[in-house]
Structure 1
Amino acid sequence: MSNLARGLLVPVLIGTLMVPVIAQEITIETMASPALANDDNPQTEDLSYTLYLPAGYEAAGDTRYPVLYLLHGSGGEADAWEDFWPILDTMILEGTVPPVIAVAPVTGNSYWVDSATFGAAETAVIDDLIPHIDQTLATIPERDGRALVGFSMGGFGAARYGLAYPDLFAAATLLSPALQQAQPPATAGAVSRGSFGDPYDPARWDELNYPAVIETYAAQDHRVPFFIVAGDDDWNHLSEKEDLPGDATRYNMEVQAVAFYTALHRENIFDADFEKWEDVPASPAELRIVDGGHDMEVWGPGFSEGLAYMFANGLSAPTEN
């Protein structure tokens, strides 16, 4: 493995007990991606990703591990998840969640979709990265062995992948997801960065946005539990004044998080029959609007609660051959 950064097994004194801090491996890897090599963007041929292997991982051992696919926010680099690794270490050490593999691909400002500007990012993750990980690591190579976590722009990607590929993923956690039920505001990165056409193409956004994908999701048999968290003090679009309309608070992330939860969990997307006052047939989801903004004060606790939620709602613990 390249650029190896190993966690050390260090004794820590807690009361009168010597407790070892978890030892893990975090490396930066690169793989050849046919999707990127064959798209129209000559600058993207390989896909890089950060790989987290839990303590005790043995490639030739009998244990098979679930995999978290971590989707970064705008402009993400290889270090996008460095604040999350200690949280994951602690959760595994304390037994809050079982040991997992984590894979964090790097796709810049792609919004995790295929585009001329950033290359075939979505196809690279779905068709190239996931099979590569299952072929080269001791994974549980089935949907109950995979889950998604995304923050900000990565929350858009995790929402899309969970709905578009429910046969691949058992659950998803969205941290301050950059979602818009309708067209995004003119100042959004989705409009200005080229992920949905350069110049921006509203039809391309509508094609890839979650309301369209929910239609196909509702027609198949799998259900993907979503854990959604957003801060009540996230960006207030009303403050952009002359750039946006007077009701621009509708773009706020906490407002859009509620809209996404409502679309999944309150609007009977399966068109099922039910009696008055009965629970509406729904796709499983949990929503948290918490005190905070667009940062780790929201994402750290949300990551912890989201991981626990996913393991309690379909994501498999490690298995033995």
Structure 2
Amino acid sequence: MRFAKPCFRSWLAAAVVLSAAATAHGGQVFADQAPSTALGRDVKFTVYVPDGYQPGGTVNYPVVYLLHGAGGDENEWRTKGGAVETLDGLIKRGLIRPSVVVMPTAGPASWWADGAAEKAGTAIMKDLLPYVESRYRVHKERSGRAIGGLSMGGYGALNLSLRNPTQFCAAAVISPAIYDPLPPDTSAARRTPQFVRDGQFDPDTWKSLNYAAALDAYKAGTPRVPMWIVSGDHDYLGIAPMSATLYWRLYQIQPKLVELRVIDGDHEWLVFRDALPDALQYVDRQCRQG
């Protein structure tokens, strides 16, 4: 999809409408794609726009970037995560501000990082964000931009926010695949080209890209990114204790700007869906205060 003119009628005509709210007062989701120099291909994404959004209007909205997990795509949060229904409900009840939510894919095993195979992190920061801010009525300053994700997307949301703290006002980290020091044999990380060198999983590449490698620079700089961390207590990948370790490390840096929740469930969509409303409320609240 390309927006040739900032006209509501032409915008709708050009858009690929993926879903619309069941009520007369809900948001809509459209398909779009951002050209990416970093990847040499487009970054596909779906975008939720709240009820009342007008491309040619004067109102700018907060924007949240919501990242999928390994093997997912730009539709997963919509089709499996109930994101549209959750956003409509939270906005309708006044629990979050009307917001634009961008759900991208940089590839099913990108890990949202500049790894051994491609520069997926750069694609998000240098290609997708500028494209969204040039084509949609969203805030362009840090206080209007948050990020979140599940599993591989939680890894991505955490790492991108720690490495780019001047760009995000808050982050939601849901069941994050942040294995430290190394991922288990069952993790998709061991099979993705991003962490493979000479045909084998490379521990040094994993360690250099995982969040622990970013903490010293983050601690030495400013600003701080408020973090909402949540995991299922029966997560078969052992993510609950790793989330607790992440929480404690961040608590030493920003004790009033990190929260941890452990809820009932495994590494599954029941947990991800249940975690989303609180995560969205947290990042919205923190960004309003910031």
Q: Using the alignment, how far apart are the partners of 1:151 and 1:259 within structure 2?
A: 17
- Residue aligning to 1:209: 210
The question of 1:256 aligning with 2:256 is answered no
- Residue aligning to 1:224: 225
The alpha carbon displacement at 1:63 in A equals 0.9
- State the secondary structure of the residue aligned to 2:281: helix
Q: Using the alignment, how far apart are the partners of 1:259 and 1:209 within structure 2?
A: 14
Is the alpha carbon distance of 1:8 and 1:299 closer, same or farther for their aligned partners in structure 2, counting shifts above 3 Å?
closer
- State the secondary structure of the residue aligned to 1:256: helix
Q: Using the alignment, how far apart are the partners of 2:286 and 2:151 within structure 1?
A: 23
Q: Using the alignment, how far apart are the partners of 2:120 and 2:232 within structure 1?
A: 28
Q: Is the 8 A contact 1:261 1:287 kept in 2?
A: yes
Q: Is the 8 A contact 1:69 1:148 kept in 2?
A: yes
Is the alpha carbon distance of 1:3 and 1:302 closer, same or farther for their aligned partners in structure 2, counting shifts above 3 Å?
same
The question of 1:302 aligning with 2:275 is answered yes
The alpha carbon displacement at 1:22 in A equals 2.8
The question of 1:143 aligning with 2:142 is answered yes
Q: Using the alignment, how far apart are the partners of 1:156 and 1:114 within structure 2?
A: 13
TM-score by length of 2: 0.88
Is the alpha carbon distance of 1:8 and 1:178 closer, same or farther for their aligned partners in structure 2, counting shifts above 3 Å?
closer
Percent identity reads 34
Is the alpha carbon distance of 1:316 and 1:9 closer, same or farther for their aligned partners in structure 2, counting shifts above 3 Å?
farther
Which AA in structure 2 matches 1:222? Answer: P
- Residue aligning to 1:71: 67
The alpha carbon displacement at 1:23 in A equals 2.6
- Residue aligning to 1:123: 122
Q: Using the alignment, how far apart are the partners of 1:25 and 1:146 within structure 2?
A: 20
**Which structure has the greater CA radius of gyration?**
1
Q: Is the 8 A contact 2:96 2:285 kept in 1?
A: no
Q: Is the 8 A contact 2:182 2:207 kept in 1?
A: yes
- Residue aligning to 1:153: 152
Residue ranges of structure 1 left out of the alignment (5+ in a row): 11-20, 38-44, 238-251, 270-280
Q: Is the 8 A contact 1:181 1:259 kept in 2?
A: no
Residue ranges of structure 2 left out of the alignment (5+ in a row): 1-13
Which AA in structure 2 matches 1:136? Answer: R
Runs of 4+ in structure 1 off by over 6 angstroms are: none
Is the alpha carbon distance of 1:222 and 1:9 closer, same or farther for their aligned partners in structure 2, counting shifts above 3 Å?
same
The question of 1:2 aligning with 2:15 is answered yes
Report the number of matched residues.
271
Deviations along 1:261-284, one digit per CA (max 9) or x if unpaired, are: 01100xx34xxxxxxxxxxx6361
TM-score by length of 1: 0.80
Is the alpha carbon distance of 1:214 and 1:103 closer, same or farther for their aligned partners in structure 2, counting shifts above 3 Å?
same
The alpha carbon displacement at 1:9 in A equals 6.4
Q: Using the alignment, how far apart are the partners of 2:263 and 2:19 within structure 1?
A: 34
Q: Using the alignment, how far apart are the partners of 2:16 and 2:56 within structure 1?
A: 22
Instruction: Give runs of aligned pairs for residues 70-219 of structure 1, distance below 5 A.
Output: 70-82=66-78, 83-106=82-105, 107-117=107-117, 119-198=118-197, 199-219=200-220
Q: Is the 8 A contact 1:26 1:50 kept in 2?
A: yes
Is the alpha carbon distance of 1:116 and 1:205 closer, same or farther for their aligned partners in structure 2, counting shifts above 3 Å?
closer
The alpha carbon displacement at 1:300 in A equals 2.2
Q: Using the alignment, how far apart are the partners of 1:22 and 1:254 within structure 2?
A: 37
Q: Using the alignment, how far apart are the partners of 2:289 and 2:16 within structure 1?
A: 30
Deviations along 1:157-186, one digit per CA (max 9) or x if unpaired, are: 011011010000000111111111212223
Q: Using the alignment, how far apart are the partners of 2:228 and 2:42 within structure 1?
A: 31
Q: Is the 8 A contact 1:174 1:226 kept in 2?
A: yes
Instruction: Give runs of aligned pairs for residues 50-65 of structure 1, distance below 5 A.
Output: 50-65=46-61
Find 1:32's aligned residue among 16, 25, 35: 35
The alpha carbon displacement at 1:315 in A equals 4.3
Q: Which has the higher helix share?
A: 2
